[in-house]
Chains A and B, each alone.
Chain A
Amino acid sequence: NAGVTQTPKFQVLKTGQSMTLQCAQDMNHNSMYWYRQDPGMGLRLIYYSASEGTTDKGEVPNGYNVSRLNKREFSLRLESAAPSQTSVYFCASGRRGPPTNEQFFGPGTRLTVL
Chain B
Amino acid sequence: GENVEQHPSTLSVQEGDSAVIKCTYSDSASNYFPWYKQELGKGPQLIIDIRSNVGEKKDQRIAVTLNKTAKHFSLHITETQPEDSAVYFCAECNSGGGADGLTFGKGTHLIIQP
Contacts and interface: CB of A to CB of B under 8 A. Distances in A.
Interface of A: 4, 31, 33, 35, 40-45, 48, 50, 56, 58-59, 90, 96-108
Nearest to A41: B106
B43 A40 contact: no
B95 interface: yes
B107 A48 contact: no
Contacts of A104: 46
B95 A108 contact: no
Contacts of B52: 99
Given A48-B100, A101-B32, A101-B102, A96 B95 contact: yes
Interface string B38-56: 0000111110010111000
B96 interface: yes
A58 B107 contact: no
Contacts of B36: 105
Nearest to A3: B43
B93 interface: yes
A99 B4 CA distance: 19
B31 interface: yes
A17 B91 CA distance: 33
A108 to B, nearest CB: 5
Of the listed residues A31, A35, A42, the one surrounded by the most CB atoms of chain B closer than 10 A to its CB is: A42
A90 B91 CA distance: 15
B51 A42 contact: no
B89 interface: yes
